[in-house]
Structure 1
């Protein structure tokens, strides 16, 4: 895993820990872009509203090429496959321009979802407008909404991408557990680290 985080690869990454995006959603904001149709790796068109769960919805901006996504991907898959049965819908969204990031095209998404065993929708944001609506800037970046569609958590998966055994704070999983239990969420935003989203040009 250490090899994935060399100085060379780090040069291509954006460290969101320095500052959260000014345009990102704030705690309590409503889920945007909930009616936008996005193509899933199954070939079906899906909206965030359709994928929403009775108790909440988790939207994760992801991709195929990013070493940070790859480091967290097993944990993302496990949580994403578990939550829908508990009432939290899950959608992974790829907003990257495949012309800028080879390996992020639709065919690669299909292969990636199959390899990782995703049972939740992995969709392509074909205009990148969903990412813009969320203010998302990197991958992975999680947005957890409650059953009323209000943002209750935004940020990192946990505090250690490289070594799952050394995780001290399971930010996203803990937020989901608290939401399901009806408890206050202790950490509503955690600074995240990831690769820069390369959005398609507007127009």
Structure 2
């Protein structure tokens, strides 16, 4: 089922946590920030919205690194109910798509809850002070990748954040599959 996150809560502070990475390390989320900001992307392996744009996510993460913006992806889906999103499959997904950024596993879903993540993909763009400046879409793609020349919303917004510290006032929310929450114990 498709989900749409709320609009950007400008100035909301990033929340840190230490999570296991597909490279075998345990990493701090906020340690992935560059000198000009950080993008935190909630994704997963099986979502058709993510699969449609994963090459664009990897491209934009690489391009943003040149602007001093760090990038980290987090999977928070219930892997018991969705085995395609298991940690072992996260490792394969990252390798298959040439991730140049950390891919972290939020097994207990505490980070997704702290961020109020709604869908995959769900992008949070922070300035150098780690204050939220962007919560919008990657581009106009949906379950299928859009045309190659689509406006790169996330990339352009984060370039603005890197240069000015402020995100655009007009943002279009991402859309994707809802986070697959575990049943409450």
TM-score by length of 2: 0.91
Residue by residue over 1:137-169, the C-alpha shift from the partner in whole angstroms, topping out at 9 and shown as x without a partner, is 110010000000000000211112324326543
Decide whether the 8 Å contact of 1:81 with 1:118 is kept in 2. Answer: no
Indicate if the aligned counterparts of 2:64 and 2:159 stay in contact, CA closer than 8 A: no
Aligned partners of 1:147, 1:202: CA distance in 2, in Å?
Answer: 36
Write 1 or 2 for the structure with the bigger share of helix. Answer: 1
Which one of the candidate residues 163, 175, 180 is aligned to 1:181? 163
User: Aligned partners of 1:127 and 1:116: how far apart in 2?
Assistant: 25
CA drift of 1:99 comes to 1.0
Which residue of structure 1 aligns with residue 31 of structure 2? Answer: 50
Do the aligned residues in 2 keep the contact of 1:27 with 1:188 (CA within 8 Å)? no
Tell me how far 1:86 sits from its aligned partner. Answer: 2.7
Kept in 1, the 8 Å contact 2:64–2:155? The answer is: no
Note the residue ranges of structure 2 that are not aligned, 5 or more in a row. Answer: none
In the alignment, which residue of structure 1 is the partner of 2:58? 77
TM-score w.r.t. the length of structure 1 is 0.83
Query: Aligned pair count?
Result: 184
In structure 2, what is the Cα distance between the partners aligned to 1:25 and 1:164? 24
- The answer for unaligned runs of 5 or more in structure 1 is 1-12
Q: How does 1:119-198 map to 2 (within 5 A)?
A: 119-161=100-142, 162-165=144-147, 168-182=150-164, 184-187=166-169, 189-198=171-180
Does the residue aligned with 2:107 lie in a helix, a strand or coil?
Answer: coil
The Cα of 1:186 is off from its aligned counterpart by: 2.9
Tell me how far apart the structure 1 counterparts of residues 145 and 2 of structure 2 sit (CA, whole Å). Answer: 20
Deviations along 1:49-99, whole A, 9 cap, x unmatched? 211111100000000000000001010011112323431111000000101
Q: CA deviation at 1:202?
A: 5.4
